[in-house]
Amino acid sequence: MRPYAHLLSYLAAFLCLGCAANKDSYYQKGEIVDIRLNQAPEAAVIGAGLAVVAPVLIDYGIGSLKRVLAKEANKYTAAYGNEINDSHFYKNVSGIAHSLNYESVTLTRKVGIEGSQTTVSQITIKFSTDGSGTFLSLQPLNIKIDKSKAKLRRNDNTLDLVLQVQMISYWIDRDQQYHAEETANIAIPVYNIELGRSYGPQDEELSKNSKWFLPVPLSHREDGQVFGNGTFSLVVTVTELDDFGKRIGSISDLVHTNEAALKDWLLQLLEK
C-alpha cells in the first residue's frame, strides 16, 4: 500500500501552498462589472443581403478532504460578466450596404478597496469584418488585469482567460415571423496574462481572432422593406483560470478514484 504515501505528500504540499495566495489575487468584495459598446469612428461596411482515523473517522476525513479540495480548486477559477441591450447595431442602413455602429465592447470590473470602488480589470473586444464584409469575428483588443478575481499562488503572477461573447438577435423576417435567436456564441482563450501589464494589438497573446459569424439580421415590413438598425443583446463573460486549481482538481480526482484503497491503507497504519 506504500504507493499511497505519494498521495499524502501531494496533500501536504497542497495544504502548505494552498493558503499562500498572491496579494493581487482573489479580489471579490464589492464587485461591480460594467459593459459598454464603443462607437465605430468610421464605417465598417456589411453586405445588406445578410441582415438576417477509526473507520467512521476515516470515512469522515476522506469525505471532508474531498470537499475541501473541491472548494479550494473552485477558488482558482472565477467568472464575471454583464449584458447590454441595444437597437442600433448598424449606423446607416440603405438598400445596398450598411455600416457597423460599434467597433468594440468593453467590460470593466471594479471592486471595493479601502472604501472606494477601484477598477481592477478592463477588457475590450473588437468586431472585425472579413474582406467581403459578409461575416464578423471577434478579437481581444486590449486587456489589463491589475487584481484577479480568481485566487493565484503567492509566486504566480499570470493567469489564463476565456472570453465568451453571446449575441442574441431579434428581428421580423419577410414572412412576418418574429425571431429571438442566438446568432453567436464565441469563446476566445487567452493565455499567460500577467497581472498589472497592459496588452494591446501588438501583443502576440491577443493576436487570434474568433470564428466567423453572421451579423445581426434586420427586420422586414409586410411590403418587404427593411426597417430598424439591428436589435440585439450582447452578453460578455470573462472566466479567469489558474493552473494550480487544475492540479488540486487532479489530486481530488485521485482521492476519489482511490478512496477505498486509501481507506484500507490508513486503517492498516492505525492497526500497527
Q: What integer is the mean pLDDT of 181-194?
A: 91
Instruction: With respect to residue 6, please indicate whether it lies within any of the assigned structural domains.
Output: no
Strand-pairing partners, residue 77, are 241
**Structural domain range at position 45:** 21-52+76-243
**Cα 133 from chain centroid (whole Å):** 28
Asked if 239 and 161 count as a contact pair (C-beta separation under 8 A), the reply is yes
Q: CB within 8 A of 202, min separation 6: which ones?
A: none
Q: What is the pLDDT of residue 45?
A: 64
Instruction: With respect to residue 45, please indicate whether it lies within any of the assigned structural domains.
Output: yes
Instruction: With respect to residue 263, please indicate whether it lies within any of the assigned structural domains.
Output: no
| pLDDT tops 80 at residue 182 | yes
Task: Report the range of poorest mean pLDDT among 106-110, 138-142, 156-160, 264-268.
Answer: 264-268
Instruction: With respect to residue 185, please indicate whether it lies within any of the assigned structural domains.
Output: yes
pTM to 2 decimals?
0.75
Instruction: With respect to residue 8, please indicate whether it lies within any of the assigned structural domains.
Output: no
Instruction: With respect to residue 138, please indicate whether it lies within any of the assigned structural domains.
Output: yes
Task: Report the range of poorest mean pLDDT among 44-48, 76-80, 83-87, 95-99.
Answer: 44-48
Instruction: With respect to residue 205, please indicate whether it lies within any of the assigned structural domains.
Output: yes
Instruction: With respect to residue 258, please indicate whether it lies within any of the assigned structural domains.
Output: no
Provide the domain count of the chain.
1
pLDDT tens digits along 9-20 = 555 555 545 556
Q: What is the pLDDT of residue 72?
A: 55
